[in-house]
Amino acid sequence: MPEQSVFEVDGEELFECPARALDGEALEAIEDWSWMKRGFLPGAGGIDDQDEIDLVKIRLVAGAAERKDGGD
């Protein structure tokens, strides 16, 4: 384990990859958000064809990313 923290998440120092601190659902939401930023939706079809839960997760990740970047 490194002597210094490698990452900080919500004020908690992590000494390893933060992916280990997240569950599969959280990682999937981050991945879906990342793809959506590049113009790809999680499922086939348009925005109206997406599962509501996927869109909610993407909005949550987008909001966290915006706050991190200094947005309101």
Contacts made by residues 27-35, CB under 8 angstroms, sequence distance 24+: 28/57, 29/57, 29/58, 29/60, 29/61, 30/61, 32/57, 32/58, 32/61, 33/57, 33/58, 33/61, 33/62, 33/65
pLDDT at 39: 94
**Domain of 34?**
22-68
Q: What is the pLDDT of residues 6-56, one digit of tens each?
A: 666 667 777 777 677 778 888 899 899 999 999 999 999 999 999 999 999
pTM beyond 0.75: no
Better-predicted residue by pLDDT, 71 or 65: 65
Q: What is the pLDDT of residue 53?
A: 93
Look at residue 11 in the predicted model and tell me its pLDDT.
Answer: 73
* Residue 6 in domain: no
Please report, for residues 41, 57, 70, the alpha-carbon distance to residue 7 in angstroms, rounded to integers and kept in the order given: 29, 23, 19
Task: Give the pLDDT score at 65.
Answer: 83
Helix (H, G, I), strand (E, B) or coil at 68: helix
Q: Total structural domains in the chain?
A: 1
Q: Does residue 16 fall inside a structural domain?
A: no
